[in-house]
Amino acid sequence: MTVESTASVDPHILCVDLVRIFSTRGVEVQALQGLNLRVEPGEIVAVIGASGSGKSTLLSILSGLDTPTAGSASVAGHDLLSMGGRERVQFQRGSVGFVWQQTSKNLLPYLTAAENIEAVTAIARSGAARDRRRRTDELVELLELGDIRNRRPDQLSGGQQQRVAIAVAIANEPRVLLADEPTGELDEASSVDVLDALRSVNESRGVTTLIVTHDPSVSSHVRRTVQIRDGRTSTEVLRSTRIADDGSEHAVAEEFAVLDRVGRLQLPENFTTELGLRDRVRLALESDHVGVYSGDSAAPPRALNRTTRPRSTVETVPTPAPAVEASASPGYPTEPASVPRRRARHAGPLEQPATPQEETP
């Protein structure tokens, strides 16, 4: 496997070893189990996970509604653990915008679309009335709300309501936009409209956008998707466009396992199953990759004959994670993203370079 470094400075969202434990009647539930996430200014990222994986818990913390049990989290330069009451109000009013799944949380039912947008800037007393009206008009144009600006939420379709909600969320020009299942109650066509709107706001305003969802199809609308499983970040998919020799453009998606700060990595289940890796594995540092071999093999792995480099044997335990894991948990690997982040590609069998997978256009 090859490893590349993508460290950078001043992220807009940074979670380090985030833990959230809920205790109900003596029973503890670990909703977040050392989650790491770094989102750079101007990025648009989808966080995808199944029900119970910890998405809502993560979003509650990032939006300042809940505090973690351990670890650290900052959004738009605010330390979410040390933030006092006054800073929290400023943070929620000016630094972050929210789009929730339910319209009732996004819009006031007795105001029209345009009035909902303007109410946000009026409450924040941002600028003179004329400037606030001009800003509303700009947002109406950006979100293509011209035809519906004078309608109340109950006169709008689900997709239209969400587009108004996006305008409301960015009315105070936040640095970060958090969207919780923004397409959760929409049909496919409306979902595409709303995701296009989020992308267009991200591109035109540069607002850092995090979309939390259980819907895997959201992935195809953003460049970077982070998968969370069991309260931790597991894999990442990066999408890009490549130009072929004949000049044609191809969308390419590459999936990465995530290596954390202390070098932990979880191998994909299909790798461990195919090679019968379990309990203990042998590692070998080669000139351009790390080899992982079954600990059961009597003979030394072939690759070890080619090198005098260090090797080690690692025993796997279910939890907490050892220095290197090769556990066979169901589904894809579950490991925290590194901070700074490093990604280990695993698109092909071990020791083979990753092959980018082409998507159907």
Ligand X SMILES: Nc1ncnc2c1ncn2[C@@H]1O[C@H](COP(=O)(O)OP(=O)(O)OP(=O)(O)O)[C@@H](O)[C@H]1O
242 in Cβ contact with 357 (< 8 Å)? no
Q: CB of residue 39 vs ligand X: minimum separation in angstroms? A: 18
Q: CB of residue 335 vs ligand X: minimum separation in angstroms? A: 17
Binding of ligand X by 56 (CB under 6 A): yes
Binding of ligand X by 184 (CB under 6 A): no
Binding of ligand X by 52 (CB under 6 A): yes
Identify which range of 55-63, 117-125, 194-202, 251-259 contacts ligand X by CB under 6 A. Answer: 55-63
Q: Which of 9, 10, 24, 298 binds ligand X (CB under 6 A)?
A: 24
Question: Which residue pairs from 68-71 have beta carbons closer than 8 angstroms and sit at least 24 positions apart in sequence?
Answer: 68/18, 68/19, 68/20, 68/32, 69/19, 69/20, 69/21, 70/17, 70/18, 70/19, 71/15, 71/16, 71/17, 71/18, 71/19, 71/32, 71/34, 71/35
- Nearer to ligand X by Cβ, of 23 and 360: the residue is 23
Q: CB of residue 89 vs ligand X: minimum separation in angstroms? A: 23
- Nearer to ligand X by Cβ, of 69 and 72: the residue is 69
Task: Record the tokens describing residue 52, joined without a space.
Answer: 């119970």
Binding of ligand X by 232 (CB under 6 A): no
Q: Which of 35, 39, 48, 57 binds ligand X (CB under 6 A)?
A: 57
Q: Is the dihedral of CA 271, 276, 282, 285 positive or negative?
A: negative
Q: Which of 22, 70, 297, 359 binds ligand X (CB under 6 A)?
A: 22
Binding of ligand X by 136 (CB under 6 A): no
Binding of ligand X by 179 (CB under 6 A): no
Binding of ligand X by 102 (CB under 6 A): no
Q: Binding-site residue total for ligand X (CB under 6 A)?
A: 13
Binding of ligand X by 163 (CB under 6 A): no
- Residues in contact with 109: Cβ distance below 8 Å, sequence separation at least 6, in sequence order: 152, 153, 154
Q: CB of residue 3 vs ligand X: minimum separation in angstroms? A: 29
327 in Cβ contact with 292 (< 8 Å)? no
Binding of ligand X by 25 (CB under 6 A): no
How many Cα atoms are found within 13 Å in the side-chain-facing hemisphere of 272? Answer: 22
Exposed, middle or buried, 311 (CB in 10 Å: 0-12/13-18/19+)? middle
Binding of ligand X by 103 (CB under 6 A): no
Binding site for ligand X (CB under 6 A): 22, 24, 29, 31, 49, 51-57, 214
